[in-house]
Structure 1
Amino acid sequence: MTVTTYKWSLERYHRAIEAGIFDGQPIELLRGDLIVMPPEREPHAYYNTETADYLRALLGERVKIRDAKPITLPNDSEPAPDIAVVKPLGEIYLQHHPYPEDIFWVIEFSQATLSKDLNEKKEIYGEAGIIEYWVVNLKTPQLQVFRDLNNGEYKTELTFTTGTISPLAFPDVSVQVQRLIGLPK
């Protein structure tokens, strides 16, 4: 027996959302597949909120911090990263979610979804041209940073448990790793 799956295009996915077909179910589109998003546990929600507030204070008006809001990617993907640091384009986002060229970097907080975030999502973000991708591993706790895109693949992976890191788009900004991963400062 052959199993046939239905692949969603971004256009059909958007029409289905407008028609209310998903009934508010938290989903995201990854390479044409609908993925049900697992409920957020307390540590995930806490660090997501704290990091978003911290980045807003650090970066100010230079960016817009979007928490768990969709981004639209060309590979029939519309994930909702935990944090997307995007250009502050104002009302443009009434017309469309941020595109790759609008995104400085994305952050995922991972516990139950660690394998998906370190594999499938990393590939999707790289293929789409997202220049930097951070994964906060809440299990170990550590920060994994992916950068240096070449042909849609991240060539550099850095792992931090302490210290500071400067995002590629903002070399003048130092982000304290402990603020993201929950270890004492």
Structure 2
Amino acid sequence: MDLALAFEDSQPFKLTVDQYHDLMEQGVVEEGSNVELLEGMIVSMNSQAVSHTFLSFELAVRLREALKEIGSPLVAVTTPTVSMPPNNALDPDVAVTDAPEMGPGFLPVSGVRLLIEVSRTTLRKDMKVKRDIYAQAGVPEYWVVDVNKAEVHRFAEPAEGVYRQEQPIPLAGPLASLTIPDLAIDGSAIL
């Protein structure tokens, strides 16, 4: 059978976040599986190397400690699924949020203050596709940690679907938030 011919005039069916969540609840898509909902399509993600997992965890720990030090009610969590209706549910490596720690469903984008992606092999996707989705969803601040170049690309001020501010900085010394007052972590010796 010629599959290209079979799909020639077909349009993909885009899932909504609610439909994707229902598939997880029904066990069709296993919770914890290595997939995301990207523009309505279930896509597989790269497996994480141990160094990626360690760096994500270390960023979250340092952020959590810094948030406590400044008396912030925000919390840093690792690998949440962030709901961005109608068609996106992405799993950033770290999120800073004011959403309750426990609750049904995915983390609502309305509770997100900062998202972080750690990039070793996914830099192009993180710097373009995910950046644009996060900006369109109104995520106030987004960091891409470029492991290969040891730098952090910070994006802020989403408006009309794009980030108006971008600041790359070395992944060393202080890494300060552009949108959360007084929040900074030490990026030294994190790699």
TM-score by length of 1: 0.88
Within 2, Cα distance between the matches of 1:90 and 1:51? 18
Question: Greater CA deviation, 71-80 or 158-167?
Answer: 158-167
Q: CA deviation at 1:179?
A: 5.4
2:25 matched to 1:18? Answer: yes
Partner of 1:125: 134
Partner of 1:32: 40
Partner of 1:170: 180
Please tell me whether Structure 1 or Structure 2 has the larger radius of gyration of its CA atoms: 2
Runs of 4+ in 1 over 4 A off after TM superposition: none
Q: CA deviation at 1:13?
A: 0.8
Question: Greater CA deviation, 26-35 or 123-132?
Answer: 26-35
Partner of 1:5: 12
Within 2, Cα distance between the matches of 1:164 and 1:123? 26
Secondary structure in 2 matching 1:48: helix
Give the letter for the 2:64 counterpart.
Answer: R
* Offset from partner CA, 1:31-64 (integer Å, 9 cap, x none): 1011112110122111111111111111126212
Partner of 2:89: 78
Secondary structure in 1 matching 2:27: coil
Q: Is the 8 A contact 2:138 2:159 kept in 1?
A: no
Within 1, Cα distance between the matches of 2:104 and 2:97? 15
Q: Is the 8 A contact 1:10 1:78 kept in 2?
A: yes
2:59 matched to 1:51? Answer: yes
| Aligned pairs, number | 179
- Aligned sequence identity (%): 26
Q: 1:75 to 1:118 in 2, by over 3 A?
A: farther
Within 2, Cα distance between the matches of 1:27 and 1:160? 30
2:78 matched to 1:67? Answer: yes
**CA RMSD, Structure 1 to Structure 2 (Å):** 1.8
Larger fraction in strand? 2
89, 102, 112: which one pairs with 1:103? 112
* Offset from partner CA, 1:72-96 (integer Å, 9 cap, x none): 11241110110010005344xx134
Larger fraction in helix? 1
